Each structure stands twice: as C-alpha cells, then as structure tokens.
Structure 1
C-alpha cells in the first residue's frame, strides 16, 4: 500500500464517528433536470443591434457592449459598424468621471446621487470599471450588487466592465460603451473608475466633468499639493461627512481648498470647488449636483465644452489607430511565428529587449512595404 493511501486509511479509522469525519461522495449522479438543454442565443444582425439600442432595449444594449468588448476578430467589424451607426444619435449627454482612492465610497456615493438624479427626470448609465487580476485576468464585477437600490431602477443602466490590463482606471472600450449608452437615450453618464490613485487620469480624456472623491485624514495638504490627478479634478468631494467625522471632513475641505488655489487657472475657466457630503444621510448631494450643472453651464458659455469634446474625439482617433496597429502586429502570422524564438533569446540574455523589438518591428513593417 502506498504511503498516501495508508495515511488516508488510518485517518478515516481514527476519525470515524467524529466531527472530522467526511462522508465520501457518490459519483455519477444525474443532473437535476436531465431533459434540460441550454439553448444557444441566436446571433443578432447589425440592424437588429442598432434598432434595439435606439429603442432603448437594455438587453440588446448589454449584448452590443459585450460584442464591442470582445477580443475576437470576427466580432470587431460588426462592433465597429454598430458604433458608426449609433454615432449620429450620441453626444447628447453629460459625461461625468468619478474617481478616488479605494475606500472613498465611490459606489455608495453613486448609488445615493444616482437616486437623486433619476428623481429629477434624468436617465442614468453607470459604467463601473473593476480591476482585473494580473494573475488570472478575472474581475469580481460586484458594483451592481453594491448599488442595490438603483440596480432595479428602470431609469438606471449599470454596466460593470473589467479593466483587462488597461491603464488609467478605465476599460479598453469605455469610450465606445459611452456612445452606445447615449444612443440608447441615457442623458447622464457616470464612469466609475478602478480607484488606484495618482495614475488614474485616462478617464479625464473622455468626460465633461472629472470628479475626485476624497476622505478626510488621508494626508490632505500633501495630496492637494501633488500634481496629476488632483489638478485634473473639476470638482472635489469629501465623502463620509457624518457623525463624528463631520469636523474632520470640514478640515479636509479647508486644506484641499487652500491647496487648489496654488494651481494655475484651469483650462476650463471654472475653478474647481470642494464639497463635503454623506451618502448615508444624503447631506450635501443636492449642492454637489447643483455645482455639476453650474460647471457644465459655465463651460458651455465659454466654449470649452465643445472644444474639449473635439479634442477628445481627436485623442480617441489616435487611440483607435494605436489599438488597430497593435492588434494587426500581434495577429500577423510571421510575427506570431517569430515571437517565441525572440522571447527565448531575451530570456537567455542572448539578445537585448530593445534589439529584439526593433528586429520584430523591422520585419513587420518590411513586409508591409514589400506588399505596397
């Protein structure tokens, strides 16, 4: 008898009748419903996708977003055509990016202010970006569960998406998702970012207002002086200003307000304001939403709203080109065949990473030149 089998036999004898005893399972049990067969959902045509989105069909909208986020080459062309057809019906919303350090209460804040926004007659789409594991690539996607009170609201659409390795706190296809949500009739878009701190600035290139959530007692003076995410903020909110934390929140508000005055005049022409709020008792939410309206009105008057949208479209164009080139490069048969050998040489210190990259690029663009 093998050592492992002997040990298992001895363990069963010693623990027979005790709480540690584990009953052996029974193999080969039938399904609960042996007659159940999962039906494969029929694929929709491009026209059906567009028709459903423009009609405000949430199910079709969700399927279209999944198609857009897909990495499969066969989905790419159809996704691009859907986006192109929806573009004329987009652009009529207010896009708000909401970021902050982990623990600042982004989801709780969005749930509280989302209920208020819909009560004012708006239709709200919440694009929640969850961090993806570097090891497994998976994401929890639990934002919809945390926003329990608005997840059943017919005027709210919540779409959690994995960051999937994208930097800057957003997902790879967040811009495209915004277009589809606007075409579906949502006039207010919240983009809740991953919440990783100072590097989370990519969302700034796709929103009309960038809101930063802060908590008191987190190095407020030093954080306020830092460049990066703080100077990009159009509105700063100190959350969890309730109970015994009210005094600390007011102190943090004063410190951050003083720090913001050290920054030069923002390009929008509207100097950012600092507010305190509590998502638990609802205090401060109406003032924050009023400031959102005032900021959008200010940027529309001075022309920054339109010029910012145009600049973002230009940025999106270059991002689309970069992604297409990257996908084309890695899907090139010659590059796919050569990569493993170059990787082995780099790992074996027989070739520098710089030289390997240059040789692969020369090979790829050399093939393109020869084709021309």
Structure 2
C-alpha cells in the first residue's frame, strides 16, 4: 500500500518542481526583457510619439544620410524664430557624438508632459534656437536620450533644426551643479550678443536620491546657421560614408518611417508572430504525425519548446521567432503598463529625471 501512494506523490512533487523552476526562469527572462525596454525599448517606441508630434506641427524630418547637398554655413544674425505655444514642436536636436542617427524632437516646455515623450524640452523663458542669449534645454538621462551626455567634449557639435533653419552649436564646457542652480539656464554675466546653448540633465545613477542630487550641465556657443532648403550642415555629414554607419542610418530611416504610423515594437511583434504562426503551421502539417509521445511536463519553457514542430534546426528557428514575438509584445504592451502601475518596475526619476 505504501509503494502505491509514494509513486503518485513523487510524480506530483516532481511536476510542481518543474512548474516552479520553469516559471521562475520564464519570469527571469521577462524581467530581462523589461530591462531591455528601460534601456532601449522605451526610447525605441518614443520615436513614434516624436514623429507624430513633428508631423502635427509641420517640422520636416530631414535625412542626415543625404550628404549630396551640404549647406553653406552663414555668420551674422540668423532670422528670429517664432515663439511657440507650450508643447509645440520647435524642431529636432542632433548630437553626432551619440550616433549619426541620433536625434530628438524639441518641444516647448520642460514639464513632465513634455519630457515623457522621450524628447528634449526647451525652457520657455530662454531664447529660441539661434537667438541672442542662453537658449536652454532639458532632457532625460535615459540611454536613448541624454544618457551619454557626459561623453560630450569641447568642439562637439550640437545641431538644431527648426522648420526653416539649421543652427550649429559647438560644446565649450560641462560641469555638475545642484538642482536649485537656476542661473545655469539664464543669460550669463557679460553675455552681450553671444548666442549660447545649455543642456541640463540629471546625474546618472540607479539610486533615485543620488540621481536627483545633482545636474549635469553642457554649455556651447553658436558657430553658424543655414537654411534647411540649402542641404544639411557638414557636421551631420562627417563620417556618414562608412558602410556600417550608412547601414545603421538606413535602418533608422526605416524605423522612423514605420513610426509615423505606429510604435515599431508593435510592428515587430506582429511580424515575428505572423512569421512564427506561418512556419509553425506548415511544420505541424508536415511533421506532426511523426512526433513521439512524451511524458507530460509542467515546465513552461519545456512546453514552449515542445510547441515547435519539425527537425531540430527548424524548431530552433521557430523557438527564436516565438521569443522574439514575446519580447516585442512585452515592449509594446506589458512593460509600459508595468512602468506606469508597479513602482518596482518604474524607471522613475533616477533614470528619467531631467
């Protein structure tokens, strides 16, 4: 009698262990996917918001990969830019040091409603791009935005494109200061007719209190301006002839074109899911009859593997497509919900404070 009851209990215990271990690994994978969203996915889909806003406000999305027309740099006083309303898109900010395909939409204002769009905010009380005085901007310190601000060096260009003009600033200095040092965004003593730019972002730290304890300041000066219709500034064309750079910029163009209509993560989730369903369906029709019977398992990862049909190489491809679909589906729907709902998964000020 004892032996009869021991075997079912042992089998049940083994299945529970399979389920718990498999579920733990699955949740760990999903957590890694969420970290990927924090570092890349959020900014990835933020392109959709920025593209939509730019189109709505009539700001052209210029392709920096088109180096066939280089705008002649001009000196002197540039035309005055129109003062926008709160939240309006002023233009685009390009920082080649962050990558030739790096650019972020600039909106008027620096409130959370603006910076939540993963772009750059313009301090409303400071001059417009190209104007006399200190034109100041704020941005998150997330990796996709101003996360690499500490890598900027004197002489690095910061390029601003408005609806009609290009403004090329060159970095002069950077330093850390306290959050209450509002003087950094005001006109500087002895500024005169100098046209400068200031970027502000939080200190990089995973600790929220430490992140909010300081601000990184980048200061630059206007070097030249030109008309958008004349081409692109030479600073944006430098280095774009390399094959790797051109390939990356081509991919970026595709992403931006898709992003005009919907977030890219949704497109990629649908594409991976469609490819998986098609291949998995064909594989099942061809090979399902020859599948051996296996002992039932409660391990979610094992179930995901057994869901794939066909020869091992094909099953590996299907398995990769399956998890690619899960990755982008999480980026599209689950991670934003977790970020907004559960504090533990929120990026919070420590990653996004400006």
Q: Which has the higher strand share?
A: 2
Check whether TM > 0.5.
no
Q: Which has the higher helix share?
A: 1
Q: TM-score range by the shorter chain?
A: under 0.3
Higher relative contact order (CA 8 A, sep 6+): 2
